Structure 1
Amino acid sequence: MMDESNGISLPPLSNYKLGKTLGFGAFGKVKAAMHILTGIRVAIKILDRQSIDESGGEKVRREIKIMRLFSHPHIVRLFEVIETQTKLYVIMEYMNCGELFDYITENRRLEEDQARRFFQQIISGVEGCHHHRVVHRYLKPENLLLDLKGNVKVADFGLANVMRDGHLLKSTCGSPNYASPEVVSGRLYAGPEVDVWSCGVILYALLSGFLPFDDGMIPVLYEKLKSGIFTFPNFFSLGARDLIKRMRTVDPVNRITIPEIYKHPWFRVDLPQYIADHSLNTSCNARKVDARVLEEMNNLGFNVQEVIGSLNNMWQNQATVSYCILLHRRLNNWTSHEANLLGSPPPKGTDRRDVYVRPVFPDQGKWALGFESCSSPHETMRDVLTVFKSLNVQWKKIGPYNVKCLWKPSVQRYSLPNGMNRMTLEDINCVNGPFKTSNNETYSLCDAVKFEIQLYKGSAESYVLDWQRDYGAPFLFIEVCAAFRACVTA
């Protein structure tokens, strides 16, 4: 990678500040990072080129080529690809809140309105794929990711393919539970109809918490799929039943299409206008330049005319990558104050472990905090676990510096923030009952709170202990964070 101003060779990830490792795959790992110029967090898939070449790099390169096509609020966005002699760095949108599969598992089944909202977004994303003649073929809740605002985005295009006029597909691929009869039967198929079938299974799972077809023996499962016979739980509404039946029609010729799904009465309830109007900019190569994004780039110090020139020539450089990242944030209607993945240093003069709160969205489903330490990683984790023991926090190590934690408060006196009389947690629950957060999660103040901590290097002199709430009332998460801070600063 070259510095365009003076031709000096720069490290391949000089524009990014790496954070914690998010996961591992067959060809490498995925790390969280921050795009330094815009302050927006991203995910970086780091792939070993030798492993890819030995295993056949066609699949990986096809996935990258397909992802370059999209710029859609309900499709995970690819921002840039950086190649070196040994590595392939794929920089993508960072999805904070995990898989839809985990969300379904935690909630067992969703209320119809919430399931419909997710399903509308899934169909919008799948329609965006088909608009570019891409059939996904691997749609399932594990490949649908959630962002901070609880929006669903289509991910994992490893089995996707491009549809061509006059050419039918024949690969048997995908997850058996979500595959259509024509796929498991080895018959030819056009493409969109197999994605519609998979979406029908996903909608059934959203509403029920389980699959319409399931069996430990694959041949038996295939026979069930081919028969198309399944039952609905009593609580399914008539509209949901009708739509799912039409999406799970065994004969692909008679199966409902996505344009017909848009017209279905059940789907149209509370349908967001931007989805109903098909007004999404699904192409990342659109010639229309967003003036507000250019204004942001001007504020960041970019030459606007050079940015426009780079976009017109479709160059990959700092300007175009920054533009794409900022534009994608606008498409997602995010605030201009993106949460800082790696934290920011505390004010000068504070205790070495003083707490700072990272900027967060007011309606996000998870809260994040950070504590800074100048001790060694070993000493820091030892001190943290000592404090956890005194607070009756249970924990399980999932890495040398990564711990999953569980904290359940004892029934105690609770001081209300508005100065009301002191009440017990049980009193509060008796008066107010369970409460809902802005993303419709329901909690009791006596529930346990689950959270995860990860230690990583914040600077040359300090380490940052990152806290992330996985489940539980935000108030309780704040309680345990405050208790921890009181202990380490005492």
Structure 2
Amino acid sequence: MVIMSSQQEQGQGQGQQVIMSASSSKRRRLETEQQQQHLVALGGRYSLQCVRGRGSFAEVWEASHRRTGIKVGIKILCQATAGMPVCKVEREVRVMRLLRHPHIIRLYEAIFTDHHIYIVMELAESGQLHDYVAIQGRLPEAQARAIFQQMVAGAAYCHHNMVVHRDLKMENILLDSENRIKIVDFGFSKLFRYTKFLSKGCGSPHYAAPELHQRRKYIGPPVDVWSCGIILYGMLCGCLPFDGVNMADLRRNILRGEFRMPAFVSDDARDLICSMLIVKPEKRMNMAEVRAHRWLQPDIRPYLAMPPLDACMQQQIVDDETVEQAVTRHGFDRSSLLQSLEDGVENEATVAYNLILGKQFDAATRYLWTMIRRHRQATGAATVKTGGGGGSSSRRAPAEMQREHGESSRRQWALGGFHVLHDCPRQTMRHIAKALHELGILFYSPSCSNHHQPGRRRHRHRMVCAHFPSPFPGGVDVIPSATIIHTFLLLTTNANNNNDDALESLSAAVFFEIQVMAGEGNQDHTNYLLDLKRISGPQLPYLSICSQLASMLRPAIH
């Protein structure tokens, strides 16, 4: 080492400062020029404020929507970067446009240019769950439960809409200002079918399921269940269950499926984690079983306990007050805005409208709103029209909406417009009968019963079904299903009935009808619609039955 005098050290230090100052000045100038290019590409609609994160191919900026002043996050990807997976980004945008859930990051718009791709989404101010857990050390079970309830609800919504994430990890779970989670980064996501195996290995090694490490073919959802189990372990324990000195050692540990559970983890949480981290995917819990686990039930919010919605059935919320605000305060044309919302167009006006709507109502309220509007519009209709679409609706107070959702309706339709594309109605009814039998639901077909009345039209593709929360007295093997259903329906309509025990049992039973009807088609084939209609009984168990039945029928009829 060369020993220098204080004057020499001071002179060298001054020289280094001059060089660093020139370098930083040049870097700031380049960044300013690049920002100006981004602003032009974004049409001057956003002002970039600061960088929230950087990756191999992208950087995420905190930005502000100029006309409304609402903060957003903008993911900027440079297409000129070597190895930039454009197809992966396009898939991410397609999936984000499909999914609308309170705990999945909301996409506002995507802008593609010759040099960059801009993904404008809601801003999660509090950053990654990974950093939050690292700072806290580990989370109390009540806090971990609240986060996990949200996460599995979002994952179940994805699976219900035939999307598997395949890269769930704490770095891809973001927190907003109120510590509500948002699932992000759908670059490895995939539309899947239960009848078709996936083969691509992807995701982070520490969170990847054993079948991915083995490079075996797999069905998507169990992969996400495994990753969720890793995340839950990480939140409760402050570390990950599997590690190794190198990748080969990590892979061996994951394939063995052996990990240590700290003594401070409660028995219920331990049971849930162990049921999710089972090496064989066919023995692993599915997402519906995870959501129903007893550890997750305390303090669960109503919208998190409800069955997930079909994304294609969710409609754009058109709120009169939000439209008025967009028109009077921000200068948008009313008729063009309403038409764009009706048509599902993504433009400056609809982006501003959705930003304002998101400021007025949180994501959970908007999700519940779409659920209620779907059922309210379907009430009394024989067939529910599928697809997006808008339609205006006056704003309703959340308390009023919740009261309406809790009220029972004599004729409530669900899963209307469930398309049956390939099977004939007779074959479809066989699939339905098998699924009902596996769910323990009694059913009979009016066309096959002895109760058919002369002069009335027979419904060959219709079933009347009943579900009882406890075993039926006397057993269903002794009494025919048709007799049981007719007896209980008769009790419903007989106002003078004094059989209190029967009525008490009836109050918890769910009665509904299933019917397959011909829809639109062409000369080569006819499309069919599967409709479910609640006759009587509590609403939430009925929705749960609908969800389970839809999950079981998808592999069979799609």
TM-score by length of 2: 0.55
The equivalent position to 1:332 in structure 2, one of 352, 355, 363, is 363
Q: In structure 1, what residue type is equivalent to 2:240?
A: L
Residue 159 of structure 1 aligns to a residue in which SS?
coil
Tell me which residue corresponds to 2:188.
159
Tell me which residue corresponds to 2:95.
66
2:223 equivalent to 1:194: yes
In structure 1, C-alpha distance between the alignment counterparts of 2:265 and 2:181, rounded to whole Å: 22
Tell me which residue corresponds to 1:48.
78
Tell me which residue corresponds to 1:217.
246
The equivalent position to 1:75 in structure 2, one of 90, 94, 104, is 104
Q: In structure 2, what residue type is equivalent to 1:58?
A: C
In structure 2, C-alpha distance between the alignment counterparts of 1:60 and 1:327, rounded to whole Å: 27
Residue 221 of structure 1 aligns to a residue in which SS?
helix
2:380 equivalent to 1:323: no
Task: Describe the superposition over 1:220-268 as per-residue Cα deviations: whole angstroms up to 9, x where unpaired.
Answer: 2112111212221111111101111111122211211111122111111
The worse-fitting range, judged by mean Cα deviation, of 135-144 and 218-227 is 218-227
2:212 equivalent to 1:183: yes
Alignment of 1:57-136 (within 5 A): 57-136=86-165
Tell me which residue corresponds to 2:55.
25
Is this contact kept in 2: 1:72–1:281, CA < 8 A? no
The equivalent position to 2:236 in structure 1, one of 195, 207, 211, is 207
How far residue 147 of structure 1 moved from its aligned partner, in angstroms, is 0.5
**Structure 1 gap segments, 5+ residues each:** 1-9, 335-490
Task: Describe the superposition over 1:450-475 as per-residue Cα deviations: whole angstroms up to 9, x where unpaired.
Answer: xxxxxxxxxxxxxxxxxxxxxxxxxx
How far residue 321 of structure 1 moved from its aligned partner, in angstroms, is 1.1
Is this contact kept in 1: 2:156–2:308, CA < 8 A? no
**Structure 2 gap segments, 5+ residues each:** 1-39, 366-558
Tell me which residue corresponds to 2:484.
none
In structure 2, C-alpha distance between the alignment counterparts of 1:239 and 1:127, rounded to whole Å: 21
The worse-fitting range, judged by mean Cα deviation, of 14-23 and 99-108 is 14-23
Tell me which residue corresponds to 1:267.
296
Q: In proportion to residue count, which structure has more helix? A: 2
Is this contact kept in 1: 2:99–2:311, CA < 8 A? yes
Aligned residues between the structures: 326
Tell me which residue corresponds to 2:46.
16
Note the aligned Cα RMSD (angstroms): 2.4
Tell me which residue corresponds to 1:277.
306
Query: Who wins on radius of gyration, i.e. which is larger?
Result: 2
Q: In structure 2, what residue type is equivalent to 1:142?
A: E
In structure 2, C-alpha distance between the alignment counterparts of 1:278 and 1:291, rounded to whole Å: 28
Task: Describe the superposition over 1:175-202 as per-residue Cα deviations: whole angstroms up to 9, x where unpaired.
Answer: 1111111111111111011000100111
Identify if the C-alpha distance between structure 1 residues 73 and 166 changes in structure 2 by more than 3 Å, giving closer, same or farther: same
The worse-fitting range, judged by mean Cα deviation, of 236-245 and 288-297 is 288-297
2:176 equivalent to 1:147: yes
Identify if the C-alpha distance between structure 1 residues 333 and 138 changes in structure 2 by more than 3 Å, giving closer, same or farther: closer
Q: In structure 2, what residue type is equivalent to 1:196?
A: V
Is this contact kept in 2: 1:82–1:90, CA < 8 A? yes
How far residue 131 of structure 1 moved from its aligned partner, in angstroms, is 2.7
Is this contact kept in 1: 2:165–2:190, CA < 8 A? yes
- Counting aligned pairs with the same residue, the percent is 41
Identify if the C-alpha distance between structure 1 residues 292 and 196 changes in structure 2 by more than 3 Å, giving closer, same or farther: farther
Runs (4+) of structure 1 exceeding 4 A deviation are 279-285
In structure 2, C-alpha distance between the alignment counterparts of 1:279 and 1:165, rounded to whole Å: 18
In structure 1, C-alpha distance between the alignment counterparts of 2:310 and 2:362, rounded to whole Å: 8
Task: Describe the superposition over 1:271-294 as per-residue Cα deviations: whole angstroms up to 9, x where unpaired.
Answer: 111111247795696245344533
Tell me which residue corresponds to 2:485.
none
TM-score by length of 1: 0.62
In structure 2, C-alpha distance between the alignment counterparts of 1:67 and 1:56, rounded to whole Å: 17
Tell me which residue corresponds to 1:311.
341
Q: In structure 2, what residue type is equivalent to 1:137?
A: R
In structure 2, C-alpha distance between the alignment counterparts of 1:279 and 1:157, rounded to whole Å: 19
Residue 79 of structure 1 aligns to a residue in which SS?
strand
Identify if the C-alpha distance between structure 1 residues 122 and 20 changes in structure 2 by more than 3 Å, giving closer, same or farther: same
Greater relative contact order (CA < 8 Å, ≥ 6 in sequence): 1
2:281 equivalent to 1:252: yes
